[in-house]
């Protein structure tokens, strides 16, 4: 656990970089969180995925896995990897300020 300042708000991050309190997240934080993941610019397609991740999280209590995203977000798995090359579900969850998707047990 570490504390850092993102978009002028002090937040806590887990050891693997997920926001501890998703309700602290604002859209202003996303570009800065994206930079930490090596994504310099958030396109409208990125935003589609980020907003979908958040709505799924608040609806179902966990963010979707890549396979779920590919089936339901309207963005194909191939495109998801182009948008978030280091692994869509985890990276998008970090940028969207939600916990690590718990699809894998």
Partner 1 sequence: MAHRVVILGGGTGGTLTANRLRKRFDRDEMTITVVDHDDRHVYQPGLLFVPFGLSAVEDIVRPRHRQLRGGVDFRQSGIDRVSIADNEVRLSDGSTLGYDVLVVATGAVLVPEETEGLVGPGWMEKVFTFYSPEGATALQGALRDIEGGRIVVNVVDMPIKCPVAPLEFCFLADWHFHERGIRDRVELTYVTPLDGAFTKPVASAELAGMLAAKGINLVTDFNTGEVDGAGGRLVSYDEREVPFDLAVVVPLHGGAPYVARSPGLGDDLGFVPTDEHTMQSKAAPNVFVIGDAANVPASKAGSVTHFEGETVVENIVRFVSGEPLEASFDGHASCFIETGFHKAMLIDFNYDTEPLTGRYPAGIGLPLLKESRLNHLGKLLFEPLYWHSLLPGSDLPGIGALMPTAGKHLPAKED
Task: Select from 18-26, 32-40, 42-50, 79-87 the region that touches partner 1 (CB under 8 A).
Answer: 79-87
Residue 104 is a catalytic residue: yes
List CB contacts of 20: < 8 A, sequence separation 6 or more: 1, 11, 12, 13, 14
Kind and range of the H or E run holding 35: helix 29-36
Select from 17, 31, 45, 81 the one that contacts partner 1 (CB under 8 A).
81
Task: Select from 17-25, 31-39, 44-52, 65-73 the region that touches partner 1 (CB under 8 A).
Answer: 65-73
Contact 95, 33 (CB under 8 A): yes
Contact between 67 and partner 1 by CB under 8 A: the answer reads yes
| Residues 103, 37: Cα–Cα separation, whole Å | 21
Q: Which of 3, 16, 78, 104 is catalytic?
A: 104
| Residues 26, 5: Cα–Cα separation, whole Å | 13
Contact between 77 and partner 1 by CB under 8 A: the answer reads yes
**Residues making contact with partner 1 (CB under 8 A):** 60, 65-68, 71-72, 77-78, 80-81, 85-87, 102-105
Catalytic residue numbers?
104
């Amino acid at each position: 656990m570490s504390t850092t300042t993102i978009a002028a708000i002090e937040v806590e991050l887990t050891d693997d970089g997920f926001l501890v309190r998703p309700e602290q997240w604002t859209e202003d934080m996303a570009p800065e969180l994206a930079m930490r993941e090596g994504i310099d610019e958030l396109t409208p397609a990125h935003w589609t995925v980020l907003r979908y991740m958040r709505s799924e999280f608040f609806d179902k209590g966990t963010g979707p896995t890549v396979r779920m995203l590919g089936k339901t977000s309207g963005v194909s798995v191939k495109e998801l990897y182009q948008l978030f090359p280091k692994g869509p579900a985890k990276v998008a969850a970090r940028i969207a300020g939600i916990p690590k998707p718990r699809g894998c047990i």
